[in-house]
A and B are shown apart, each in its own frame.
Chain A
């Protein structure tokens, strides 16, 4: 298909989609209005299970099975990236390229921020039930915190402090823990991913029952998974040298 034909097709199809979306949007309740039936139901369920953060309640309690599905997509993509970015034979023979120079101020700032970011990450995961945050966000913050070591300019230190194999296991453990908690719910005849442990009291750190545990499992999985992802890309770009074509 030539470029010209393709652009015409995009113009026609895009116009059709735009008209369709326009018609649909006009029938939606107006932006910022007060008609939210799902909100009312979700808030009711969240308060009934002593979960102060209603978003976490929806994610890990009311919609637990969906989150499990999303997590499986995440798991599968990371396996796919690991398989695609395996170093080839020629690449393994090429040595690592020389690291560039890093300004002293950047280095110190990088090291200073690492513990700070790691603490924030753990805090975001553990308080996911009562404040904004949770396993998904905290895991990503942890993963980016560890990669500040790279900003601080020592790729070798990063390689030693971040054993990729360990995090590959961590990812699997997180996904497995999520599934086991789900099966535990099914085993007690309450249903897959049912909220089965004591709910605690509203607004406390250990409230909301399994939501807190599932948050932890997701935190481990997302954190380890994103670390593995970035490690694979860094290896390709830095350790294995530029592509020779």
Chain B
């Protein structure tokens, strides 16, 4: 259990990468890339996790002296989730344009077109 979080993070990242390589559709590849990115969120939050610690939001029940999990990795992760959604949108828009101009979204057929 002491390394399970890291293991899952690495496994998700590699799963996404294999998916991109096997992909026969650009939209499929973009979705696999976002799976790969999810691996980095799991890794970051696993590094910051501490057993039996509270969330890093102080209030009436959680005093600043309470043990909390690491807010630094959470901040990294939180902005990245939102920003990566817009980057995914950019990639989807690119695949849409490719589909419009070449009539296919299969990366293998696209390289065949180029000759």
Contact = CB atoms under 8 A, between A and B. Distances in A.
A–B proximity contact (CB within 8 A): yes
Interface of A: 3, 6-7, 10, 14, 17-18, 21-22, 25-26, 28-34, 36, 38-39, 42-43, 46-47, 52-55, 57-59, 63, 66-67, 70-71, 73-74, 77-78, 80-81, 84-85, 88, 130-132, 134, 136-137, 139-140, 202-203, 222, 225-226, 229, 232-233, 236, 243, 245
A243 B100 contact: yes
Interface string B60-76: 10001001111111110
B109 to A, nearest CB: 12
B96 A84 contact: yes
Contacts of B46: 31
Given A42-B70, A58-B71, A85 B93 contact: yes
A26 B19 CA distance: 26
Interface residues of B, number: 56
Interface of B: 1-7, 10, 13-14, 17-18, 21-22, 46-51, 55-60, 64, 67-75, 78-83, 85-87, 89-90, 92-94, 96-97, 99-100, 103, 108
Given A52-B57, A54-B68, A136-B78, A36 B48 contact: yes
A88 B89 CA distance: 19
B4 to A, nearest CB: 6
Quick one: which of B55, B60, B93, B103 has the most chain A CB within 10 A? Answer: B93
Contacts of B89: 77-78, 81, 229, 233
B93 A10 contact: no
10 contacts: A14-B14, A28-B47, A32-B2, A33-B2, A33-B51, A34-B67, A55-B75, A71-B83, A130-B59, A136-B78
A3 B86 contact: no
Given A29-B47, A84-B90, 20 more contacts: A7-B22, A10-B22, A25-B6, A26-B3, A30-B2, A31-B6, A33-B51, A39-B71, A43-B56, A54-B71, A55-B56, A73-B83, A73-B87, A84-B93, A131-B57, A136-B82, A140-B85, A203-B58, A222-B82, A245-B100
